[in-house]
A and B are shown apart, each in its own frame.
Chain A
Amino acid sequence: MKKFSPGLILLLLLAACFSLATVLQPRASGWSKRAQADNILKVLLGDGRRLFANQFFIQADVSFHSGYYPSIFDQARAPKDTRHLTAREGESAAEEHERQMNFLGPPRDWIERFGRHFIVTRHTHLHGNQEREILPWLKISAELDPQKVETYTVSAYWLRSMGKVKEAGDFLREGLRNNPESCEILFELGRLHYENYHDPARARNVWELGLRKWSEQAAAGKKPDLLQLDQIAMNLSRLEEKEGNLARALDLLQLARKASPHPEALQGQIDELKRKLAAAPPSAAPKVR
Chain B
Amino acid sequence: MNTVFALAGVVVRELYRRKDFYVLFVLTAVITLLMGSVSFFHDTQIVRYVKEIGLLLIWISALVIAIATTARQIPAECENRTIFPLLAKPVTRGQVILGKFAGCWLACGLALVVFYLFFGVVTGSREHHWPWLNFAQALWLQWIMLGIVVALVLLGSLVFTAPSSNSTISFIVMLGILLLGRHLNQVALQEPEPLRSIVYGFYFLIPHLEWYDVRDLIIYDQDLVGWLDCALVTLYAAVYMALLLFGAWLVFRRKALNL
Contacts and interface: CB of A to CB of B under 8 A. Distances in A.
Interface of A: 63, 66-67, 71, 73, 108-109, 111-112, 114-115, 117-120, 132-133, 135-137, 139, 155, 159, 164, 167, 171
What 10 pairs between A and B have smallest CB-CB spacing?
A: A67-B216, A66-B220, A136-B49, A133-B48, A167-B41, A73-B183, A117-B229, A136-B40, A67-B220, A73-B186
B208 A111 contact: yes
B217 A112 contact: no
Nearest to B185: A108
Given A108-B186, A118-B225, 8 more contacts: A73-B187, A108-B185, A114-B229, A120-B220, A133-B48, A135-B40, A136-B46, A136-B49
Interface residues of B, number: 36
Contacts of A114: 211, 229, 232
State the main secondary structure of chain B at its contact with A: helix
Contact of B222 (A111, A120, A159): A120
Contacts of A112: 182, 185
Interface string B164-199: 000000000000000000110111010000000000
Contact of B41 (A73, A117, A139): A139
A56 B226 CA distance: 32
Nearest to B180: A73
A167 B41 CA distance: 6
Interface of B: 38, 40-43, 45-49, 52, 141, 182-183, 185-187, 189, 203-204, 208, 210-214, 216-217, 219-220, 222, 225-226, 229, 232-233
A108 B189 contact: yes
B229 A67 contact: no
30 contacts: A63-B48, A63-B49, A66-B216, A66-B222, A67-B217, A73-B183, A108-B186, A108-B189, A111-B185, A112-B182, A114-B232, A115-B208, A115-B210, A115-B211, A117-B226, A118-B141, A118-B212, A118-B217, A120-B216, A120-B220, A132-B41, A132-B45, A132-B46, A133-B46, A133-B48, A135-B43, A135-B46, A139-B40, A155-B41, A171-B41
Contacts of B182: 71, 112, 115
A106 B246 CA distance: 37
A111 B185 CA distance: 9
A111 B204 contact: yes
Contacts of B185: 108-109, 111-112
A107 to B, nearest CB: 9
Nearest to B214: A118
Contacts of A63: 48-49, 52, 220
Contacts of B216: 66-67, 119-120
A159 B43 CA distance: 10
Contacts of B47: 133
Most A CB contacts (10 A, CB to CB) among B182, B183, B208 go to B182
A72 to B, nearest CB: 8
Contacts of A135: 40-41, 43, 46
A167 B204 contact: no
A281 B220 CA distance: 60
A67 B210 contact: no
